[in-house]
Amino acid sequence: MNFPKALLQLAAVIAGTTTRVGAQRYNLVDHYDASNWLNMFSVQSIPDPTGGFVSYVTQSEAQALGLLKIQGNQVSFGVDNTNVISPSGPGRNSVRLMSNKAYNNGLIIGDFAHMKVYLARKRLWDLASLDQSANRFVFSWVVGPNWPSSGEIDIIEGVNIGVQDQMTLHTSPGCTVTVGTPGQTGTSVGDPLCGDGGGYNGCAVVDYVGTSYGTAFNSVGGGVYATLWTNSAIQIWYWARNNIPADVANGTPDPSGWGTPAADFAGCAFDTYFKNMQIIFDTTFCGAWAGAVWPQSYCGTVDSSCVDYVAKNPQAFADGYWLVNSVKVYQT
């Protein structure tokens, strides 16, 4: 879905690792992991752009509350799951991260051991200029600085008890997508005009692979998402933990050998619509998307009010955290 969204910077650049993709040579330019995560991402304590029932805390607050921490070689961040709060207050505490560094084109590979799971949320990882969410989860997304004119790519996103990942592009008017070659394993849904509705509607592909999202993703030890962004295509792949290609695991990724992607957006000059993209992770509650569909979903039978449910049921969010192994960015 969305409105504006966000994510990255890094201190360790490994210039010697490269991979061949056809005639192109990809270099590892940024490697985000537990050793440098807190230097490469900024914790954003801002009002939620989507009007969610959420309070994004500062870095010091997040660390003091245990919502952001380094666990061995992994990074963990999530939401408050202990406190009953007032439905009339600012919302449940959560962490929003945006990369300090912005990118133009590249191959972004995220390795996740766990993603957030619970009602009343939108989860997201993406590339964007600005973030907005409603009980959503992001890595899932990348966004540019002037939404929607600089674009947004939602890589991992969903709401409430959804079990499929939705990958979505949001742009200014003029970007109409088709399915590229060799096709995609996911299903295109909605409007191919990515700029319709002021960029809010977006053009989306749903991945129906059973382990690509939520509880099923966590049950197999997580997995890896890879997004390749060029002027002619934006392609997204997903692999469960036991099916990660050897070249990805070894740090020498070669997309030409990965087979059909889950999403294959083509037909648009993407460099015109996507610029200076940053990586964002966030989780918000209720708000524009999750709150809007709450009454029509199973969630509405649990509680008629999304906000009341989020406020009164902290235990429901015990599984509401990310556990990240790494995020790697390659460029030509």
Q: Distance between CA atoms of 110 and 15, rounded to whole angstroms?
A: 19
152 is annotated as an active-site residue: yes
Q: Is 61 a catalytic residue?
A: no
Active-site option among 80, 126, 157, 282: 157
111, 152, 196, 282: the active-site residue = 152
C-beta of residue 205 within 8 angstroms of C-beta of residue 167:
yes
CA 182/CA 212 separation, integer angstroms: 20
Taking alpha carbons only, the member of 99, 155, 160, 87 closest to residue 126 is 155
Residue pair 100/59 in contact by the 8 Å Cβ criterion: no
Which residue's entry shows tokens 């997040």? 62
What is the token pair recorded at 2? 């969305």
CB crowding 68-103: b at 16 or more within 10 Å, else e? bbeeeebbbbbbbbeeebeeeeebbbbbbbbbebbb
Beta strand pairing call for 54-56 and 92-94: parallel
Alpha-carbon gap, residue 64 to 164, rounded angstroms: 33
d(CA 211, CA 198): 32
Tokens standing for residue 59: 């870095």
User: Are the CB atoms for 169 and 153 separated by under 8 Å?
Assistant: yes
Give the residue from 8, 77, 26 showing the smallest Cα distance to 248.
26
Which residues on adjacent β-strands are paired with residue 169?
153, 203
| 136 DSSP β-pair partners | 122, 159
> First-to-last CA distance in the chain?
30
- Give the residue numbers marked as catalytic: 152, 157
